[in-house]
Chain A
């Protein structure tokens, strides 16, 4: 079923494939990011209740959603790395982890900046905030565990396993606002119902979410290419590529 994927497990093919995608991804990420964020931050109407403060939603929600999306992607790569023992899959795990960690930090920091004027507190230990913080620790744990063993094979295996186990946190983050009572409000768009956000504010938000997703892909391609070159530097095709 997945035979067509096999060539991409070869680092050289994947390197060139990512190189081909990279410019398209970068350009569209930049265009979408400019469009979505400028539209959302400057040209949407103010909220009836929160005034202009709500505008940070156009950064907070995309980074929060994609911090979870990145984790799902990283965990899928970890699964492939563990079961099929494909090296590039593990490099993909390590390529995504810092990007996901930065997305999580953006979500947490913008959330705090939003919480202070609206709720009245920078931080509250409610289920949503705490589980998102755990997501950050999972990312950091994956990065740290990978480097914690002198045997790199063991480090790769253990960090992939942690990445995979951490998936349990994703439904907890998503449903935390439903399962428990929290200060954080419920979902506005990621639910099976009409979005509870006015269309004039919804469109720039959706574009920003797409922008963060494409940017995630672009940065992953970039980092994966670097990882492949670093790890395969003694291979003939890399030597030929860099002209050494």
Chain B
């Protein structure tokens, strides 16, 4: 290789490795801020080495699986309340609005809202998260024993209309 080219090659490699280092350090420093959401465990036990817990009133996103049997709806309004879990403790999410089509028990969801109590979030937006597995319904039924139930047919438990605050109580596990 000509010395001129070698010099250019080396200076380019130097520039690239310096910038890679800078970007890497930046991403490392921002690690916790790039995460889209807290998991229930992170919310309850704290985040990172210092176990930093979000303060009540903070706006945040929470992501986890909807605990089966905890979805309860207010029959009078669009209010809904459910628990989220990842590997450890559960947290409550309260939401008033229309849930995405993919929302169902056992589904991963991401909710955005404010922290009302250390383990209660009042959500303003609920998004459904789906995994990277794609398969026809018959295969899913054979492999996982999952039968797809469209939300319109899903028999979510609703609270007793006579007792107004009952919807806040976890409902019994639905029958489907």
Q: Name A residues whose Cβ lies closer than 8 Å to a Cβ of B.
A: 45-50, 54, 57, 79, 82-85, 117-121, 124-127, 161, 164-165, 167-168, 172, 179-183, 185-188, 196-198, 200-201
Contacts and interface: CB of A to CB of B under 8 A. Distances in A.
Q: Which of A49, A167, A172, A186 has the most CB of B within 10 A?
A: A49
Nearest to A160: B12
A196 B130 CA distance: 13
B137 A46 contact: yes
5 contacts: A48-B139, A48-B140, A165-B16, A180-B34, A181-B39
Contacts of B36: 124-127, 180-183
Interface string B139-169: 1110000101000000000000000000000
B16 A164 contact: yes
A117 B101 contact: yes
Interface in B88-144: 99-102, 110, 125-141
Interface of B: 5, 8-9, 12, 15-16, 19-20, 23, 27, 31, 34-37, 39, 63, 99-102, 110, 125-141, 146, 148
A120 B129 CA distance: 9
The interface residues of chain B, by DSSP majority, are classed as mixed
A46 B9 contact: no
A193 to B, nearest CB: 11
Contacts of B8: 82-83, 85
B134 A83 contact: no
Contact of B136 (A168, A188, A200): A200
Contacts of A183: 36-37, 63, 110, 127, 129
A83 B9 contact: yes
Given A46-B137, A161-B12, 7 more contacts: A45-B138, A124-B36, A127-B36, A181-B35, A181-B36, A196-B134, A198-B139
A167 B16 CA distance: 9
Contacts of A161: 12, 15
A48 B101 contact: no
A165 B20 CA distance: 8
Given A124-B127, A181-B36, A181-B37, A118 B100 contact: yes
Contacts of A118: 100-102, 128, 130
Contact of A54 (B100, B125, B134): B134
A48 B146 contact: yes
A167 to B, nearest CB: 8
B9 A196 contact: no
Contacts of A180: 31, 34-36
Contacts of A167: 16
Nearest to A54: B134
Contacts of B127: 119-121, 124, 183
B44 to A, nearest CB: 16
Contact of A84 (B5, B35, B137, B141): B5
A198 B135 contact: yes
Nearest to A48: B140
A201 B16 contact: no
A172 B27 contact: yes
Nearest to A169: B23
A168 B132 contact: no
A206 B134 CA distance: 14
A168 B23 contact: yes
B53 to A, nearest CB: 17
